[in-house]
């Protein structure tokens, strides 16, 4: 990722100065950043960490500034990752970013005291500061008055009122930045620490701020944000608040699982036809096979989930931007803290029901490292959408038409049971982790409940697209590599179908439909044979003794190995191995009957309903998703943790599957 | 018996208590934030410093965390943290 940034680092004569944009979360920083830079912006990560690094170009009259959007901050002195990165930027210690020539401090006018606190810290870096007052329209509606000149005099820095919507203040901001660049920054006051800890410094800063506000702001007696408090009477109500939260979550799930179906099918077909087109155009041979069966099929298999991920990010962005997300964490913190997690962990976990990748990426909002790691560790237990094809196939093959109590479909009960099993495992593991290797005093829960605001459509879409693009880049590169490896495992050693096996040679033009079908069958037989003799097939035999106690034979072993790339690959691998052609889907009758009729060498059936349940249990718990592994590695920045996760999940899956199968056999199933 | 009585009288006399046990809707003034660790620091940086007025808005559905209002904004903290904040009515 730094590579993309490097290109921008080349000395460009037009980029004369660097300006940092700093401010509290929810202060309107993103809106101002978008307003100043337009579409001229780039998002990447700071080297080695997962803090988003946003930069854009801002035209300031004759000069062009590189505007660095710092993460949202309350302070520059505590230990969170965001804060230390911001500090490094301001001291010029980040590779590839010049020490800023000026700081634009974004200050929410409706929340002056706390917002100015960060500004008092910014003064200490020796960089000239311009204060940009946002939310000024709301502030004025509340009939408060601010004496900008007076405030500027007291802070000894320019103060500009800005409004991104109306464009107010843009030219003043430009003029102020131009004026102060290169000037010697004035320091309005010095906070001296008394005693051992630095807390007296905090007190001194707030005293200074309180003085500034008393002398430059006329407050209306009416308390601000009454509207938010009224809304919260319902939204954080002890009973209705929870009810509404459940309804919101249901709506999001509904959207992810039903609205996304159509674009997902289209993408699936699209990648299918792309493969076909390449196959028909390119010359036969290993390169075409690699391109079609390895790269296009593998990358396509993940990109199919993009609509779900886009929708999920859309909802997250809306919830974030309106201020509801903080309320949800507030409502659920008590429940989450029972297993040692932070209220903010609920959203990443919920997202993981669609896909663990965006879920794990969403854990960044959790400040405490241990809380965050614990959340990442359990996120893959949430039954993601890639498990659905597996559940559907198993239920379709063995549990259709059966009911519980005469009216509830057994399939639905099983499906629900699998989701519950995942949640249950997550709770247990979080509980254990937080009491052992991630043990710590409970992390503080100190969270602002920002005032409700109408979402800014542009910010929302930008957020959604940025995150989706990061997903594509991250998952895409790893999936590409893994797809190629798995393809090679199944492709080599390669046996070219001998002409004899295809029956009497015939020119394709003369082939009748009937003969074409026979050819297809033989081709499928050939594919199945190829898989059996490939390295993957041999690996299946190697692991057979290990998986036999679970009731699995080597063919299921091959499918398990293949599904390590992505869970849904199980369906296509089983199709190939049972000779029904790889294009069958999870509802295919041919595949279902092939599974039902599969025999072991001694003539007994391979699959019983118990085997199906065992396989489902295994899929709930096992870490079978290379893209998740890759994302975990990136987010935790540690191979040790990543391997630990793969190891413990696989062990747990094996143990649970073993218990299911052997227990089931004892009970006579 | 005697001790209980004493405690009762003390609670009537002294108006100093901590933020976790003031009644909902009541405004109080912060007198001190106890402790020296990360939590204390974070609370103070968020504006919970001696002299500031705070009001307990409500507690979450399961009794914890609580929402307090100070300096014109809303802050959610766990009762655990609130216990370190001494206030007077």
Domains of chain B (ranges; CATH) run 16-88 (2.30.30.90)
pLDDT at residue A263 greater than cutoff 80: yes
CB contact under 8 A, B77 and A330: no
pLDDT digits (tens, 9 = 90+) for A523-573: 556 667 777 788 888 888 899 999 999 999 888 998 888 888 778 888 877
Per-residue confidence band for A8, with pLDDT thresholds at 50, 70 and 90:
very low
Question: Cβ B52–A223 below 8 Å, yes or no?
Answer: no
- Taking CB atoms and an 8 Å limit, are A112 and B72 in contact across chains? yes
B67 interfacial to chain A (CB closer than 8 Å): yes
Measured CA to CA, the distance from residue A627 to residue A384 in angstroms comes to: 13
> Environment class of residue B7 by beta-carbon count within 10 Å: exposed (0-12), middle (13-18) or buried (19+)?
exposed
Q: Is A334 within 8 Å of B61 when comparing Cβ atoms? A: yes
* The model's pTM: 0.79
**Interface touch A114/B47, C-beta < 8 Å:** yes
B19, B45, B77, B85, best to mutate vs chain A, most A CBs in 10 Å = B45
Identify all chain A residues contacting B60, using CB atoms and an 8 Å cutoff: 236, 238, 330-331, 333-334
The answer to whether residue B36 neighbours chain A at the CB level (below 8 Å) is yes
Q: Do B46 and A448 touch (CB under 8 A)?
A: yes
Contact B41/A at CB under 8 A: yes
A147-187 pLDDT per residue, tens: 999 999 999 999 999 998 888 888 999 999 988 888 887 77
Weakest mean pLDDT among A85-89, A254-258, A266-270, A465-469:
A254-258
- How many CA within 13 A on the CB side of residue A479? 25
Residue B47, classified by CB atoms within 10 Å of its CB into exposed (0-12), middle (13-18) or buried (19+), is: buried
Q: Is a pLDDT exceeding 80 seen at residue A203?
A: yes
- Between A481 and A166, residue with greater pLDDT: A166
Residue appearing with tokens 């903290």? B77
Chain A residues near residue B41 by CB distance under 8 angstroms:
77-78, 197-199, 202
Q: What distance in Å separates residue B88's CA from the closest CA in chain A? A: 18
CB A653 within 8 A of CB A621: yes
In angstroms, the Cα distances linking A608 to A202, A577, A612, A657 are: 68, 18, 6, 14
Residue B32 at interface with chain A, using a CB cutoff of 8 Å: no
H or E element at residue A521: helix A513-533
Complex-level ipTM: 0.85
Q: Is the dihedral of CA A289, A291, A295, A298 positive or negative?
A: negative
Contact state of A202 with B45 under an 8 Å Cβ cutoff = yes
Q: Tell if the CB–CB gap between A448 and B33 is shorter than 8 Å.
A: no
Burial class from Cβ neighbours inside 10 Å (0-12, 13-18, 19+) for residue A212 reads buried
Set of chain B residues whose Cβ sits within 8 Å of the Cβ of A116: none
Burial of residue A405 (number of CB atoms within 10 Å: 0-12, 13-18, 19+): exposed
* Beta bridge mates, A668: none
Long-range contacts, A511-518 (Cβ 8 Å, 24+): none
Q: Do residue B41 and residue A238 have CB atoms under 8 angstroms apart?
A: no
Asked if the Cβ–Cβ distance from A334 to B63 is below 8 Å, we say yes
> CB-CB: which of A197, A198, A242 is closest to B61?
A242
Structural domains of chain A ordered from first start: 2-218 (3.40.50.300)
Q: Which two tokens mark B31?
A: 């007198």
**Interface touch B76/A448, C-beta < 8 Å:** yes
Chain B residue numbers with beta carbons less than 8 Å from the beta carbon of A241 are: 61
Q: Per the CB < 8 Å rule, is A203 touching B50?
A: yes
- Measured CA to CA, the distance from residue B67 to residue A330 in angstroms comes to 9
Adjacent-strand bridge partners of A103: A20, A129
* DSSP secondary structure letters along A544-563: HHHHGGGT--HHHHHHHHHT
State residue A473's pLDDT score: 74
Q: Please tell me if residue B64 touches chain A, with a CB cutoff of 8 Å.
A: yes
pLDDT greater than 60 at residue A608? yes
8 Å CB contact between A38 and A87: no
Residues of B in contact with A447 (CB under 8 A): 75-77
Chain B CB contacts of A343 below 8 Å: 65
Per-residue CA distances from A296 to A196, A198, A364, A481, B70 (Å): 62, 58, 31, 12, 56
- Taking an 8 Å cut-off on Cβ atoms, the answer to whether A78 and B45 are in contact is yes
Preferred mutation among B44, B52, B53, B82 to probe A, highest tally of A CBs within 10 A = B44
Above 60 in pLDDT, residue A521?
A: no
Token couple for A375: 């959340």
Per-residue pLDDT tens digits for B27-72? 999 999 987 777 888 899 999 999 999 999 999 998 889 999 999 8
Is A618:A653 a contact under the CB 8 Å cutoff?
Answer: yes
Q: How far apart (Å, rounded) are the C-alpha atoms in residues A71 and A173?
A: 21
- Helix, strand, coil percentages (3-state) for chain B, rounded to 5, are 30, 35, 35
Residue B82 contacts A, CB cutoff 8 Å: no
Query: What is the overall mean pLDDT for chain A?
Result: 82
Contact: B41, A202; criterion CB under 8 Å? yes
Q: What DSSP character marks residue A367? A: -
Could you read off the pLDDT of A641-658 as tens digits, one per residue? 999 999 999 999 999 999
Mutation target for B interface from A206, A209, A234: give the one with most B CBs within 10 A.
A206
pLDDT at A7 > cutoff 50: no
């Amino acid at each position: 990722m730094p590579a993309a940034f490097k290109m921008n680092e080349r000395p460009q004569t037009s980029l004369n100065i660097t300006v940092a944009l700093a401010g509290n979360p929810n202060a309107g920083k993103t809106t101002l950043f978008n307003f100043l830079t337009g579409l001229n912006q780039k998002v990447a990560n700071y080297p080695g960490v997962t803090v988003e690094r946003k930069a854009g170009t801002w035209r300031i009259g004759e000069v062009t500034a590189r505007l660095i959007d710092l993460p949202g901050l309350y302070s520059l002195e505590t230990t969170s990752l965001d804060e230390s990165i911001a500090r490094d930027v301001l001291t010029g210690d980040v590779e590839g970013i010049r020490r800023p020539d000026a700081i634009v401090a974004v200050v929410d006018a409706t929340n002056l005291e706390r917002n100015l606190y960060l500004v008092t810290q910014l003064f200490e870096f020796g960089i000239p500061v311009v204060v940009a007052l946002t939310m000024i329209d709301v502030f004025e509606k509340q009939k408060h008055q601010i004496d900008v000149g007076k405030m500027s005099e007291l802070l000894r820095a320019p103060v500009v009122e800005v409004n991104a919507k109306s464009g107010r203040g843009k030219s003043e901001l430009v003029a102020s930045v131009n004026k102060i660049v290169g000037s010697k920054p004035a320091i309005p006051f010095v906070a001296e620490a008394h005693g051992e800890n630095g807390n007296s410094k905090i007190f001194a800063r707030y005293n200074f701020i309180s003085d500034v506000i008393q002398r430059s702001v006329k407050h209306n007696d009416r308390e601000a944000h009454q509207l938010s408090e009224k809304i919260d009477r319902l939204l954080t109500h002890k009973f209705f608040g929870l009810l509404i939260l459940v309804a919101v979550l249901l709506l999001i799930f509904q959207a992810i699982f039903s609205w996304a179906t159509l674009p997902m099918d289209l993408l699936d077909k699209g990648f299918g036809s792309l493969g076909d087109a390449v196959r028909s155009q390119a010359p036969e041979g290993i390169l075409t096979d690699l391109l079609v069966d390895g790269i296009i099929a593998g990358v396509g298999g993940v990109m199919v989930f993009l609509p779900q991920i886009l929708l999920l990010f859309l909802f997250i962005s809306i919830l974030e931007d309106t201020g509801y997300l903080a309320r949800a964490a507030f409502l659920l913190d008590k429940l989450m803290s029972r297993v040692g997690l932070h209220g903010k962990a609920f959203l990443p976990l919920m997202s993981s029901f669609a896909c663990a990748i965006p879920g794990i990426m969403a854990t960044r909002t959790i400040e405490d490292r241990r809380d965050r790691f614990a959340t990442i560790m359990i996120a893959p237990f949430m039954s993601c959408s890639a498990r659905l094809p597996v559940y559907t196939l198993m239920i379709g093959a063995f549990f259709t038409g059966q009911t519980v109590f005469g009216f509830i479909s057994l399939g639905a009960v099983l499906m629900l049971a699998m989701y519950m099993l995942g949640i249950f495992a997550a709770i247990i593991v979080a509980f254990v982790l937080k009491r052992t290797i991630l043990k710590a005093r409970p992390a503080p829960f100190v969270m602002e409940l920002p005032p409700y605001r109408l979402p800014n459509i542009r910010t929302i879409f930008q957020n959604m697209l940025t995150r989706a693009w990061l997903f594509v880049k991250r998952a895409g590169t790893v999936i590409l590599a893994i797809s190629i490896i798995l393809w090679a495992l199944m492709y080599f050693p390669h046996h070219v179908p001998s002409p004899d096996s295809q029956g009497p040679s015939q020119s394709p033009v003369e082939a009748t439909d009937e003969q074409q079908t026979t050819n297809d069958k033989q081709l499928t037989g050939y594919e199945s044979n190829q898989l059996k003799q490939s390295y993957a097939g041999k690996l299946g035999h190697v692991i057979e003794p290990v998986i036999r106690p679970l009731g699995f034979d080597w063919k299921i072993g091959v499918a398990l190995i293949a599904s390590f790339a992505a869970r849904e690959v199980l369906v296509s691998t089983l199709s190939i191995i049972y000779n029904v052609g790889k294009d069958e889907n999870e509802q295919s009758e041919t595949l279902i009957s092939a599974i039902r009729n599969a025999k072991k060498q001694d003539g007994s059936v391979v699959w019983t309903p118990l085997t199906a349940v065992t396989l489902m249990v295994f899929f709930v718990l096992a870490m079978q998703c290379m893209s998740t592994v890759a994302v975990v590695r990136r987010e935790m920045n540690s191979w040790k943790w990543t391997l630990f996760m793969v190891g413990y999940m696989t062990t747990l899956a094996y143990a649970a599957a073993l218990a299911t199968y052997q227990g089931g056999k004892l009970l006579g199933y | 018996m005697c001790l209980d009585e004493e405690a009762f009288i003390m609670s009537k006399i002294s108006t100093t208590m901590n933020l976790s046990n003031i009644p909902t809707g009541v405004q109080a003034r912060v007198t001190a934030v106890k402790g020296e660790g990360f939590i204390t620091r974070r609370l103070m940086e968020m504006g919970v410093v001696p002299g500031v007025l705070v009001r307990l808005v409500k507690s979450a559905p399961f009794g914890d965390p609580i929402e307090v209002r100070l300096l014109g904004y809303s802050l959610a903290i766990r009762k655990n943290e609130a216990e370190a904040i001494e206030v007077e009515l």
